[in-house]
Structure formats: C-alpha cells, structure tokens
Amino acid sequence: MSQTREKLEEMGFRILDAVRTELLLSMRFMAPALNSLGFKMDLATSYAGTDAAYIRFNPGFLLQTYVERPRIMNRMYVHMLVHCLFRHMFTAQEREDPELWDLCCDIAAESVVDSMTYDVIARPHSSFREYWYERLEGEVRVLTAEKIYAWFLQRDRDYSVEEALRREFTVDDHSFWQRLEDEEQDRQPPKTPPGAPPAAPPNKSGEDGNQDAPDGPRNLKRVRPKEDEWEKNAKQIEADLEIMGKERSEESGSLSRILRFESRKRTDYREFLQRFSILREEAGVDLDSFDYGFYCYGMELYGNMPLIEENEFREIRKVESLVIALDTSASCQKVLVQQFLSETADLLAGIGSFFKKTQIHIIECDDQVQNDRLITDPAQLLEYAQQFEVKGGYGTDFRPVFNYIEDLRARGELEDLKGLMYFTDGFGIYPDKPTDYDTAFVFWRDEELDDTGVPDWAIRLFITPEGLEIKERPGGEN
C-alpha cells in the first residue's frame, strides 16, 4: 500500500514538475512564483488546489487531465499562481460570504489568465464568459477580487446566475484556504483561566516546526508563513514586467496592470497632507506642557504665588508653503477639480490652519502657466474652488510649472517650499530633473490611468470617488 502511494505521489510530482518547466520556458518572469510552490499529494481533494505553500493534488485527476488536456493543466497551475500573487487565501476569512468570495477570486484569476497570449495556456472563450468580462469591465473597470465582490454585494443577488458563474469559472479547490484559516486559529494563544500562569508563546517556526516563517515577531493576525513571500513575489514580477518593455509585457495581459493597481499603498488624505506641514513655535499658551503639580504646590504653600507659570510659546504643526498646480486642459473635468480643492481646503483648515505668513500658490496651467493665485487662508481656497472654471483647451506640458516655481524661489517670493501637488489627467510631458521638495502627481480614476510615464522620484496619488481616499504608489524610494 505504501509503495502504491509513493508511486502515485512520484507520478504527480513528475507531472507538476513538467508543467512548471513548460511554463517557465514560456513565462520566465513568473519564475519567483513558480519556485514558491511545492507539491503534495492530498486525497482529501478530488482535483487540485493550493494553500500558498503547496499545490495539493489528487493523482488520478492530475494524470487524466495531463494526458487528455495538458493546456488545462497549465492553465490551472497559472490560475493558482494568480491566487497566490494576489493573496486571495489570506483575506478569505475577512469576508462575510465565503462562497461569493471564492467565486470572485476565480473570476479575477481567470480574467488574468484569459488576457495572456501564451500558447501553453491558450483556450477559446465561451460567449457567456466574454459577456461577463465585458459587463464587469464596464462597471468595475479593474477586475480585482475585492472590486468584483463589492459589485455583487451592491446588487440584488441572483443565486442561479452565481451558480452558473461558478460552473464557468471554478478551476481549483479552495477548501485548503479554509484549512489555512483553521491553522491560523490554532496558532492563536489559548485563553488562560483566571489565576493560571500565562500560556507559553506559540511556535514561530511555521508548519510542522519548519523554518518557513519570517524572522522576528509578527502580529497574531499575520502568522502566515507564506504571505510575506508572495507579496515580495508580486513586487518582483511587477518590476520584471516593467523592465521587459511594452511589447513583451503585453503578452502577460492584465497581470502587470492589476499588480500595479494592487501595489498602491492606501493612505488617508489627511495623513498625506501632514507631510506638507512643519513644526514651529508660536505665541500662545501651551497647556499640554503646563505642570499643574508645581502650580498647585506654590498656591498651597504661599497662598497666591505659583511656582510655575504656563508657557508663553507652544509648538504647533501647520502649513507654511505649498504649491497646487491644476491642469486646466479640456480633459480635466471641472467638478473633479472642485472636489479636490474643496476637500483639500477642509483638511488644511483642520490640520491647524495656516501660519500668519502661509503661502499657497494655486497655479492654473496647460502647456504653459495661465494664472497664479496666492492663498493665505483656507476660506480663500474654498472660495476659489467654488468659482473654478476650466479655461484651457491645449495639450499638457508639466515642465513650465516647475520652471515657474524655480523662478519664484530665485526671486525670494516662495520660501521654504515643502511640496507640490499637481492635479492632472496624466497625459503630458513630465520633467526629468528631480525636485528638492516633495512632488505628487494627483490623478483621478486610478483604474483607467497608465502612470508609467511618471518619473521615479515623484509620488503618485490616486483619488477615488469615495471621499477622496488616497492610493499612494511610490516611485523609486518615495
């Protein structure tokens, strides 16, 4: 019996190794991902699936599929790699409807695989599949599992349609994702009865005592030995695809675009604006540093003589110098610029308002600087937003704004500049020379934008319609 099992396991290993080799020869950029999954025979499944550490397979299914439909075997392998690259299994437990989440993950993964043009995974698409891709891309735009899941939840559920979608898009066994969650729960420290000594810390070495887990302490919610590795794999593949060039990377379909979309760091807009503020002393009572102990002791000892008085100066963080450039070309919509400016005005007022000598320059521009409005109070910025009109109509060249800023600084009209926020649709000529202040290009509708032309030294901000949430994708080391 044990010999039979060993032969079946060896056969499965050889099949998967052959598939991996074939994929590697065609898709060399996927090497980090292909090398991150081991193989394990698991008779608990009738086909195959992954837990982000292994491809767990039923040997009978593997042999039949590989002999009869080898490209389907290749596609399944890539499908599982896509699940891992986007870490679908690590967020499954956060979803209220796990079955719907499984479906959305499969649709997202298949959309990536179907967009690739490699012969080793090519297959014709059904009209049903094409219809759903077209519908989702029209309403969701970027087919990530999170966006598709939210789209389904916002509509009246039709379970018969969802079942048809499962039959069309289900490829692998997601039951191992549940096992991953169960193992996660097992790693949680047991509850200690009152009066009992604290429980010993959990083993950090990973499954079966191996050393898969990263070094150093981790939050209990992230005791997942492979999650960090797959995040690194995704970043490496994204970088490799950018290096390959446009023609070669087009073969990878939507993978590069979605990896770039997912890698954007989500940041609160208020938190982002804080980087343009500075800490300085200002006249005013600083109650936070006032020591009431000495004050009360002096009043008690001498009757009317405190031993300490409040500080006459306090340290406060406010905005002193900032430039906001607005692309007024016809492609930028008035309402979007107004929303951006109004939200910025409200948040700047909440940061602690302005110093007495605050300078905020609002520069209107297209292929040249059209207007420069000096703002010294948040109310002025809000008033400007309400009266803003799109005046341009020409192409966009970002360089004149940077030249204009340097002229202002040379004349001493713009001192201690902290940063520039350039609101634009992204289509224009970017400067080559890096700035000695923070430069952020602010875009609308991040899912539609090809931001590859933005210089590496600049910051990319992507504003979403939901209350101006910021998605920050740094370029270079920013």
CA nearest 391: which of 362, 414, 361, 426? 362
CA nearest 279: which of 332, 372, 351? 351
Instruction: Kindly report the pTM of this predicted structure.
Output: 0.62
| Residue 441 contacts residue 454 (beta carbons within 8 Å) | yes
Report whether pLDDT(59) > 50.
yes
| Residue 187 contacts residue 202 (beta carbons within 8 Å) | yes
Report whether pLDDT(214) > 50.
no
Q: How far apart are CA 423 and CA 365, in angstroms?
A: 10
* Mean pLDDT, rounded, for 174-184: 73
Torsion sign across C-alpha atoms 277, 278, 279, 283: negative
Sorted by where each begins, the domain ranges of the chain are 2-176, 270-280+318-474
Q: How far apart are CA 310 and CA 301, in angstroms?
A: 19
Whole-angstrom distance between the N-terminal and C-terminal Cα of the chain?
A: 59
CA nearest 361: which of 316, 319, 410? 319
pLDDT at 215: 41
| Residue 169 contacts residue 110 (beta carbons within 8 Å) | yes
Tokens of 428: 């224009």
CA nearest 223: which of 181, 175, 178, 177? 181
Instruction: Kindly report, residue by residue over 346-367, the tens digit of the pLDDT.
Output: 767 655 554 455 678 989 888 8
Tokens of 436: 């000695």
Instruction: Kindly report, residue by residue over 10-57, the tens digit of the pLDDT.
Output: 999 999 999 999 999 999 999 999 999 999 999 999 999 999 999 999
Report whether pLDDT(149) > 90.
yes
Q: How many whole angstroms from its chain centre is CA 466?
A: 16
Torsion sign across C-alpha atoms 239, 242, 243, 248: positive
Q: How far apart are CA 442 and CA 461, in angstroms?
A: 5
* Phi and psi at residue 90, to the nearest 5°: -85, -15
Do the bridges between strand 419-423 and strand 311-327 make them parallel or antiparallel, or are there none, so unpaired? parallel
| Residue 397 contacts residue 429 (beta carbons within 8 Å) | yes
pLDDT at 381: 77
Report whether pLDDT(141) > 60.
yes
Instruction: Kindly report, residue by residue over 326-352, the tens digit of the pLDDT.
Output: 887 755 566 777 777 777 777 676 555
* Residue position matching structure tokens 């340097």: 406
| Residue 172 contacts residue 76 (beta carbons within 8 Å) | yes
Report whether pLDDT(209) > 50.
no
Q: At CB < 8 A and 24+ separation, what contacts does 28-33 make?
A: 29/237, 29/240, 29/241, 29/244, 29/252, 30/78, 30/81, 30/237, 32/232, 32/233, 32/236, 32/237, 33/81, 33/84, 33/85, 33/230, 33/233, 33/237
* Mean pLDDT, rounded, for 313-331: 69
pLDDT at 168: 96
Tokens of 324: 């906001």
Range with the poorest average pLDDT among 88-97, 228-237, 454-463: 454-463
pLDDT at 31: 94
* Residue position matching structure tokens 């008035």: 334
Tokens of 292: 């009431």
Confidence class for position 216, pLDDT limits 50, 70, 90: very low
Q: Which CATH superfamily is domain 270-280+318-474 in?
A: von Willebrand factor, type A domain (3.40.50.410)
Report whether pLDDT(130) > 90.
yes
Residue type, 398: F
Do the bridges between strand 438-444 and strand 459-463 make them parallel or antiparallel, or are there none, so unpaired? parallel
* Mean pLDDT, rounded, for 266-286: 61
Secondary structure in 3-state letters for the chain: CHHHHHHHHHHHHHHHHHHHHHHHHHCHHHHHHHCCCEEEECCCCCCEEECCCEEEECHHHHHHHHHHCHHHHHHHHHHHHHHHHCCHHHCHHHCCCHHHHHHHHHHHHHHHHHHCCCHHHCCCCCHHHHHHHHHHHHHCCCCCHHHHHHHHHCCCCCHHHHHHHHHHHCCCCCHHHHHHHHHHHHCCCCCCCCCCCCCCCCCCCCHHHCCCCCCCCCCHHHCCCCHHHHHHHHHHHHHHHHHHCHHHHHCCCCHHHHHHHHCCEEECHHHHHHHHEEEEEEEEEEHHHCCHHHHHHHHHHHCCCCCCCCEEEEEEEEEEEEEEEEECCCCCCHHHHHHHHHHHHHHHHHCCCEEEEEEEEEEEECCCEEEEEEECCHHHHHHHHHHCCCCCCCCCECHHHHHHHHHHHHCCCCCCCCEEEEECCCCCECCCCCCCCEEEEEEECHHHCCCCCCCCCCEEEEECCCCCCEEEEECCCC
* Mean pLDDT, rounded, for 434-452: 74
* Mean pLDDT, rounded, for 298-304: 67
Name the β-bridge partners of 324.
362, 421
Confidence class for position 203, pLDDT limits 50, 70, 90: very low
Q: How far apart are CA 66 and CA 60, in angstroms?
A: 10
| Residue 274 contacts residue 351 (beta carbons within 8 Å) | yes
